[in-house]
Amino acid sequence: RISAASQSAATSAATASSSVPSEMKAWSYSEYGGVDVLKLDTNVAVPEIKEDQVLIKVVAAALNPVDSKRRAGKFKATDSPLPTVPGYDVAGVVVKVGNQVKDLKEGDEVYADVSEKTLEGPKQFGSLGEYTAVEEKLLALKPHNIGFAEAASLPLALETAYEGLQRAAFSQGKSILVLGGAGGVGSLVIQLAKQVFGASKVAATASTGKLDFLKSLGVDLAIDYTKQNFEDLPDKFDLVFDTVGQGDRAIKVLKEGGSAVVLTGPAETPGFRFVITSTGETLKKLNPYLESGKLKAIVDPKGPFPFDKVSEAFSYLETGRATGKVVIYPI
């Protein structure tokens, strides 16, 4: 039998979880710079929600290279004002709902890239705090079979991978070379190309120790960039997806009529660059593939890093050697 005392303890716990404090813990910086400008503050105001937003109790977040570039001041001209709570990727629980929110309700488990435009006015209060306010249109329900840490690893990288393949009009029967196949974006481009777009052949580059990882993702040809220049191989591709900054080399291995998606560094025609726009629609579309296990979240085995180790997690991301995503959990 459940005692009255334990029942009342359970009730007060439930009340506490749905009541939102006015202040929270969050990582923030007040000036641009290296990892050392990041501070864990204990009294950051919990963001107010707008009518089209929900407030999320953050359970997990993930880091992206753009967080580091933004913190370094690379996008100063179009950034939101300082101080900044960084973080684009979030997974958590809805605790408050704006008046114009249609489909989400308190208690829903959701995930998103919280900033619609990555470089122009990204959220001042991102995902590296206990709470974050996010527009409904950026969110999707978390796939029921994966945890918060895995869900948080997906949004920005998965939406970038999908948007790039779509913009390049990649389709069934085509071949693709992924430069940087072991990284956050590359590991998802490989899986999407194979499992969702029906690629005839997927090749990817990585260093020696990561070739087996590439094969486990389904690549047909794993190229060790420490031993071989991909341009020297006989293989040509319909698409090269460059996550490394090798746009000049990418266009040398294209078939007639092929193209190259370039995420960083200069792009030469027929290669093109784009910047991801966050949308929950992509996550909703891909949820069935995540739920069937055809697409897998790749959380770097050095993590997940607990919330008080965000600086260490950024230092690790900034080595450029991460496998899949650097995740922060629990928050």
Considering the complex, what minimum distance in angstroms separates the CB of residue 215 from ligand NDP?
14
Select 96 or 210, whichever has its Cβ closest to ligand NDP: 210
Mode of pairing for the β-strands spanning 39-45 and 23-28: antiparallel
Considering the complex, what minimum distance in angstroms separates the CB of residue 160 from ligand NDP?
4
The residues of the shown chain that bind ligand NDP, judged by CB under 6 A, are 64-66, 118, 157, 160, 179-180, 182-186, 205-207, 210, 225, 243-244, 263-264, 275-276, 317, 320-323
Q: How far is CA 180 from CA 270, 278, 281, in A?
A: 20, 22, 26
Considering the complex, what minimum distance in angstroms separates the CB of residue 282 from ligand NDP?
13
Select 140 or 223, whichever has its Cβ closest to ligand NDP: 223
Q: Which residue is nearest to ligand NDP (CB)?
A: 183
Question: Greatest CA separation found in the chain?
Answer: 75
Select 307 or 316, whichever has its Cβ closest to ligand NDP: 316
Select 127 or 243, whichever has its Cβ closest to ligand NDP: 243
Integer Cα distance of 310 and 131 in angstroms: 16
H helices of the chain, where? 4-18, 65-71, 148-152, 155-167, 186-191, 211-216, 247-250, 280-291, 310-317
Considering the complex, what minimum distance in angstroms separates the CB of residue 243 from ligand NDP?
4
3-state secondary structure 177-206: EEECCCCCCHHHHHHHHHHHCCCCEEEEEE
Select 46 or 60, whichever has its Cβ closest to ligand NDP: 60
Nearest to residue 17, comparing CAs of 177, 119, 130, 116?
130
Nearest to residue 157, comparing CAs of 326, 330, 301, 294?
326
Considering the complex, what minimum distance in angstroms separates the CB of residue 129 from ligand NDP?
21
Considering the complex, what minimum distance in angstroms separates the CB of residue 23 from ligand NDP?
32
Select 58 or 313, whichever has its Cβ closest to ligand NDP: 313
Show Cβ contacts of residue 310 under 8 Å, excluding neighbours closer than 6 positions.
27, 38, 40, 63, 128, 328
Select 92 or 184, whichever has its Cβ closest to ligand NDP: 184
Integer Cα distance of 304 and 186 in angstroms: 19
The answer to whether 194 and 185 are in contact (CB under 8 A) is no
Considering the complex, what minimum distance in angstroms separates the CB of residue 31 from ligand NDP?
21
